Structure formats: structure tokens, C-alpha cells
Amino acid sequence: MSETLEQLKEILGEVSDINHAASVLEWDEQVSMPPGGSEARGRQLATLGKIAHEKATSEEVGNLLDKLKSEFSGSDSDEAALVRVAARNYDKTMRVPASFVAERAVAASKAFEAWVEAKSKSDFSIFRPHLEKVVELVQRYVSFFPPADHPYDVLLDDFEPGMKTAEVQEIFANLRPKQVDLLKRIAQVKQVKDDFLHKKYNEKKLWDFSEKIIAEFGYDFSRGRQDKAPHPFETTFSVDDVRITNRYEADNPIATLFSAMHESGHAMYEQGVNPAYERTPLESGTSLAVHESQSRMWENLVGRSLPFWEHFYPEFKKVFASQLDGVSVKAFHKGINKVEPSLIRVNADEATYNMHIMLRLELEIGMVDGSIAVKDLPGIWNAKMQDYLGITPPNDAKGVLQDVHWSGGMIGYFSTYALGNIISAQLWEQINKDIRDLDEQICKGEFGTLLGWLRGKIHVHGHKYDPQELMQRVTGSKIDSAAYVRYLTKKYTDIYGL
């Protein structure tokens, strides 16, 4: 390895260390920090962000990259990928002033605490001024970059490299009528029962069972842990310290299981990245959509499948005998896959989930281009929920305040959830071609072959390949919704007898 590359890796390694230290503080903020600590935590994160930004955009880094770009031009090596991704990150980071990074960190910390209070009181007015500040900062961020086809392109590219707003809108435009048609067909037949899912379930027993499931999946608890937080998430401090959070909802207790499966999908991706990529720009997943494909796969294609519950249900029924008395595994399977328009995105069934995402994408685009004012969000949200799903939120907590992401300035992010669903089905079709007895393995509680396939085809590559290139390599096709439509149609045809 050249001396120049070693010098670059050393600096980028220090930037990575600082960013991961900030991630520890952000994890603590959501898991265990007292509310009074928010102002100081905001300053601390601002300081670390500023230091990381200055180090990442130093003249030395620029000079090293200039030397290395020609040295590794045209190569498919790990080193060439590192230089390519580092150069891309450098170009983007150079456009953003360090003072802005610090200002955004302070605003995000304050906005998070305001969101927590606003949600608990179901009062959007508490969060509104903070979200207005967040949107203002997002618009300023966009202004640092050359004009794009749409200002939202700049934000989307941060989460889904190379993806354009128009591409996502086209994918959604093709998908939406097919999902609407499926929903209409389901609405015309007898609804499945799921009353047994909404009884009182012991929180600790559910929590323990969730950890049993994800441990069997392959989530390595010697390199991870599960803690409580207002909103479930995964965070990575290193390949050997990948944590998840979860929550218990009294009115939807089984969600604890599926949240654990979902976040463990993210975490197993991070635990499976090539250790050689540690402290480099290749150390994480390639994009949020690919990341989401992993979480949605383990949560839905595995965790909501009949073979999965044929393995786990006997033990689960023993733990919750009174709640599940007289409920067969097939009835349970139908219950956890019930299709019904609902208010909360994270608890939405697969047939309606993408409608939530399409709604949020429209709102985000409107906030960014100025066609939607923050003050009008609750009313617009409620109107679109009625239009998209036929239901209206009774309050802000179950409407516009339900998601944490906007408090952190993560605008440009939501479409990756639906793209992740699409990718998960594409990968699943390929997996079933390569692992012919996959259902039988899952029925026996054997997940090693599946995780091994994902490790070898997806996880180990980290950010070496951009998402479309990775999908082309693994499935022979770029991101396409056809497999997802086939998956949904077959699944709900079987469950509802369509």
C-alpha cells in the first residue's frame, strides 16, 4: 500500500473515531440522558461535528486525494473504492461550512427534546418552531450545492447515492396503483381476526423473547445490545459494537418482536461488514435503501412468514398461553399479517406501509421547495392520510409527530424505506434461487445459510459498491418494483383467498 494512501487512511480514521464518539453521545441522548442535559449535549455534538468537519476538509486531505485519484483510476480494488468514496465525501463536505455543521447539531439536539415533549403532549405547536428551524437549515444546506433538477435531489443523494427525485417518483407512480388495487381486493373479502394480538402481554417476557429470536437470527450480542428508546433505531460505534433500541407499546405489544427483528437486520448488516474497512469511508452499508432491505427482510419476509412461526410459535404460545388459547399457528400467522389502514407507520402492514412513505415524500418535497409551510403540516398530513388510507389521525401524536426523523434534520430519508421494501423482494427472489430449501431451513429455526448468503453478497462489501451497482451484481437488475408486487400479491392471495 502506498505511503500516500496510508496517510489518507490515518486522517480518515481519526474522522471516523470522532464521528463514532458523537454517535455514542447521540445514543445516550435517546437511551439514558436526563432531559435537562439536552443543551449541553447539543454543544458537545456541535464541537465534535466541527472538529470532524475541519479534519475531513483539510487541505492535506484534498492534496492526498488528488494524488490518489489518478493512481487508482479504473481499478475495482478495495483501495480504489476507498479513494472514490472518500473523494465523493470530500467534495460534498467541502461545500458545507463548519459553522453550519455546528449550528445544525445544536438545532437537532433542541429539536429532538422538543419533539419528545410535543409527542407526549400531542401538541405540534411545541415542535413547530424547531421544525421550522430544521427546514430552514435544510434549505440552506441545499444552497451550498450546484443547482439540481430538483432541490430535493441534493438531500436524497446523501442517503441514496446517485438517486434522483424523479426516479423515486417514477418508481412510486408505478407501484402505487398496483398496491391500491391489491388493497381494494382485500377490502372486498372477509377480514382476518387479530384480537389476540391486542391483549395484555408481559413486557419483560416479550422483550426476552425478542432477544431470543434475534440471537437465533445471528445478531451477535457479544458485539451488541438492545436498550429502550422512544423510537427504535440501530447505531454503529464499530464493527464490534453495533447496538439497537426497542420499545414496548401497551396497545400494540407484539410490535416489540418485529421492531427487534427490524433493527437486528440493520445491525447484522453492520456486524458483517469487512473488518478491514473499519475507520474508512467503506465501513458502513452502501445506502439507506439497501440497509432498509435488510431490516425489512428479517422483519417481514422472514419474521412474518409461516415457516418462521412454525418454528417459534409452540414456544411463544407456552409463554403466552392465556393470550393465545385456541389460536392455531395459521390463525396467528394470518393475524400478524392482517391488512388494515393504520395511523402509525412503524406498525403498518406490508400492503399499506408504502402509502405512509409516499405521503411523507410528498410532504418533504413540499417543505424543501417551499410549497408547504411547516405551520400547515398537521392539516395537510391529516388530509393526505384520509386520501391515501381512508383514515384521519385523532391527534398530532398519532399523526404528524409520530416519527423522530425530522427533528434530526433527516429530510430526504423516508423514500429509502419503500425502496428498501422493493430491494428486499428482489434479493429474496435471488436468495430462493440460490437456497432451494430456504423455507424448510427457516421452519427448523436454521438461519445460518440465509445470513451467510447476505454476508457474502451484501454485508461484506460495506460501501464498496453504490446501491444500483450492487443490485446489478447480485440480482442482474437495478432496483425494480416488479418482484415486490409479485411477493405482496402471492402473500395476500394466500392469506385472504383472493
Question: Which residues are known catalytic residues?
Answer: 263
Tell me, what amino acid is at 340? E
Q: What is the sign, positive or negative, of the torsion defined by CA atoms of 359, 114, 416, 75?
A: positive
Contact, 378 vs 124, CB < 8 A?
Answer: yes
> In Å, how far from its chain's centre is CA 446?
25
C-alpha 382/C-alpha 388 separation (Å) is 10
Contact, 214 vs 234, CB < 8 A?
Answer: no
Contact, 128 vs 374, CB < 8 A?
Answer: yes
Cell triple for 438: 430456504
C-alpha 19/C-alpha 295 separation (Å) is 23
Contact, 279 vs 462, CB < 8 A?
Answer: no
Tell me, what amino acid is at 480? D
**Radius of gyration in angstroms for the set of CA atoms belonging to the chain, rounded to a whole number:** 22
Q: Give the H or E element holding residue 275.
A: none
Q: List the one residue out of 173, 446, 470 whose CA is nearest residue 293.
A: 470
The string over 94-115, giving b where at least 16 C-beta atoms fall within 10 Å of a residue's C-beta and e elsewhere, is eebebebbbbbbbbbbbbbbbb
**∠ CA 490-491-493 to the nearest 5 degrees?**
65
Contact, 115 vs 407, CB < 8 A?
Answer: yes
Contact, 323 vs 254, CB < 8 A?
Answer: no
9: Cβ–Cβ under 8 A, 6 or more apart, which residues?
82, 279, 280
Contact, 243 vs 224, CB < 8 A?
Answer: yes
Q: List the one residue out of 404, 377, 406 whose CA is nearest residue 135.
A: 406
Q: Which long-range contacts (CB under 8 A, 24 or more apart) does 37-43 make?
A: 38/109, 38/110, 38/112, 38/113, 39/109, 39/110, 41/109, 42/105, 42/106, 42/107, 42/108, 42/109, 42/110, 43/106
